[in-house]
């Protein structure tokens, strides 16, 4: 879903550039819309990056230790990540409730409502938590049994 938003974001930015510099008529909605879309893309990309093991490790240390030690490192990182993401869900949900109750809007000429942004924060952080829990289970199983819980599938990436 996040990848499908990228061309939409590019079209909106290109349209705004065209409107502003060629037609000399900037839009009131393009900046806010592109800001929201970029936030959605970045937030949803976190869980996807975790699924693809694309997050950054300290490879100089991580690649020099045994698989068991890597799993222990992962477990610590996953627990800390889950803790942080639970705080994000809690905060985003509180901001969502405030945005609905007080009709919070962006402070811009267009002034779009903000509630949807906080919903996306909750959804994205929850998806990331689900992926981290899956990875945590896999690493705890490996650390306790010495065997892989799931087979690694090479999808060509």
Q: Is the pLDDT of residue 86 over 70?
A: yes
Any domain includes 153:
no
Range of the domain at 39: 2-145
Residue 120 in any domain: the answer is yes
Q: If you average pLDDT over residues 73-83, what whole number do you get?
A: 96
Under 8 Å between Cβ of 136 and 78: yes
Which residue from 55, 51, 77, 74 is spatially nearest to 153, judged by alpha carbons? 51
Q: Does 129 map to a domain?
A: yes
Would you state the pLDDT for residue 51? 86
Residue 154 lies in a domain: no
Q: Is 152 within the bounds of a domain? A: no
pLDDT in tens, 100-131: 999 999 999 999 999 999 999 999 999 999 99
**Structural domains of the chain, count:** 1
Q: Tell me how far apart the alpha carbons of residues 155 and 100 are, in angstroms, rounded to a whole number.
A: 42
Residue 155 lies in a domain: no
pLDDT in tens, 20-74: 999 999 999 999 999 999 999 998 888 888 888 887 777 788 888 999 999 999 9
Query: Is 96 contained in some domain?
Result: yes
Whether pTM > 0.85 for this model: the answer is no
């Amino acid at each position: 879903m996040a990848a499908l938003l990228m061309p939409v974001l590019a079209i909106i930015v290109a349209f705004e550039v065209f409107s502003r510099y060629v037609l000399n008529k900037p839009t009131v909605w393009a900046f806010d819309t592109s800001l929201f879309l970029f936030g959605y893309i970045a937030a949803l990309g976190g869980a996807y990056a975790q699924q693809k093991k694309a997050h950054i490790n300290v490879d100089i240390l991580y690649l020099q230790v045994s698989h068991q030690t890597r799993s222990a490192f992962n477990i610590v990182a996953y627990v800390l990540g889950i803790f942080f993401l639970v705080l994000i869900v809690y905060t985003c949900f509180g901001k969502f409730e405030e945005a609905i109750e007080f009709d919070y809007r962006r402070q811009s000429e267009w002034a779009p409502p903000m509630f949807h942004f906080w919903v996306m924060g909750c959804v994205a952080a929850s998806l990331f938590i689900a992926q981290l829990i899956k990875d945590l289970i896999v690493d705890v199983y490996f650390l306790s049994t010495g065997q892989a819980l799931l087979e690694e599938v090479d999808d060509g990436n």
